[in-house]
Amino acid sequence: MALVTTPGSASADSYVSLNEADGYAASRFGTDAWAALSDADQEKALRQATREIDRCRFRGRKTYASQALQFPRDYCSEESADLLEVPDEVQEACFEQALWVVQHGATGGRSVRQQLQSEGVTSFRVGSTSETFLGSGLRWLCPEASALLAPWIERWGRIVVDGREG
C-alpha cells in the first residue's frame, strides 16, 4: 500500500515519500542498507519512523484537528511558516529514523544502548569500563533525528531559582 504523505491529511502515514527518501539517501553516505531494501520494506521503515517521531511532544498544535500526523503545526506566531508545510528537518528526521530502524532491525529498531535504557538500565560496567545514561530524553529516536527535531520539541519542567520554583 502506497505511503500517504499529504500534509494535514486524515490518512497520512509518513512525512516522506519513497522518492524523497531515495533522493535524501543518494546525498548521504552510509545508506547501503536502505538501497538494498524492497519498496515495501522501505515503506514499512518510513511508517515506523513517522510513528516514532509522532510520539514526541511538540510545540504548538496540529494545524487541523482531523490530521493524522503531528505535522503540519500551528504555532500561533506571526513567524509561522506556511501552515500546510512539514519542515524540511522533520522530513530529514523521518528518513534518519527510518535508516536507523533498518540498521538496527535485530534489536527492534533500537541500538544496544536504547534497548538497555528501555529495559530500565541506568548504568553498567564491563571490566574497567562503565557507562551511565543521562535522563530519559527521546531515547526511542536516533541521535540525528533527535537533533533535527530539537527546535520543535516542547520543553517543559520545573524551574527553580534560589530554592524557589518559578
Give the global pTM: 0.76
Strand pairing class (61-62; 73-74) = antiparallel
Who's near 11: CB < 8 A, 6+ residues apart? Answer: 4, 68
Q: Is 42 exposed, middle or buried (0-12, 13-18, 19+ CB in 10 A)?
A: buried
Q: Per residue of the chain (166 residues), give pLDDT as tens.
A: 899 999 999 999 999 999 999 999 999 998 999 999 999 999 999 999 999 999 999 988 999 999 999 999 987 655 555 567 899 999 999 999 999 999 887 555 555 665 665 556 667 777 888 776 555 455 678 889 999 999 988 876 555 566 555 4
List the beta bridge partners of residue 124: 131
**Domain residue ranges in the chain:** 18-154
